[in-house]
Amino acid sequence: MKRILFLITVFTLLFTACEGDPGPQGPPGLNGQDGGIFVAQSFETAPLDFTTGNAFEQVISYPVDFLVGDDMVLVYLLWNENPDPVWRLLPQTIYTDNGSFQYNYQDEFTQLRLFMDAESSFDFNTLSDNDTLNQIFRVVALPSDLINSNDIDINNFNDVVQYLQ
């Protein structure tokens, strides 16, 4: 009889639900909905030319569903390919004998405008082909929750890639 009572007690304890403190609050605005997985997306542009004919700018349409909600867009310029690719975050200032200019961008949610910018007195026609032709950019969309983290250095493309695995 003692064994039966012991077994009943053990089974009762094993199969009785326990309740503890509630877990942490989820992200705001989800109201109990599944938050999904935060995934960064990226794509690389084909080589782009910045010339007088296109007013030293290029407009690129984003792939379908590239941006979601409050995603932040970061754009990197391929600075050097040898021996390993080096990517620099825009805006990127370039100093020349004729003054300085910047590669810059504007996120327009469905498209991205990449452009060269400088003081009004700067003559872009004095730039070398290395500065204006065959420029490659990497566009990265990061969920805003990741950007707010102190664990990520967005200035370093390799750190961004490593952080996002």
Contacts of residue 122, defined as CB under 8 A and 6 or more positions apart, other chains included, come to: 98, 99, 100, 101
Alpha-carbon distances of 65 from 11, 40, 62, 79, 96, rounded to whole Å: 51, 12, 8, 28, 39
Higher confidence at residue 117 or residue 165? 117
The domains located in the chain, with CATH, are 38-164 (2.60.40)
pLDDT at 15: 65
Enter the pTM of the model. 0.69
Higher confidence at residue 163 or residue 75? 75
Alpha-carbon distances of 17 from 7, 8, 43, rounded to whole Å: 18, 16, 48
Q: Percent of the chain at pLDDT above 70? A: 73
Residues 19-57 pLDDT 10s: 667 766 655 545 555 555 556 788 999 999 999 999 999
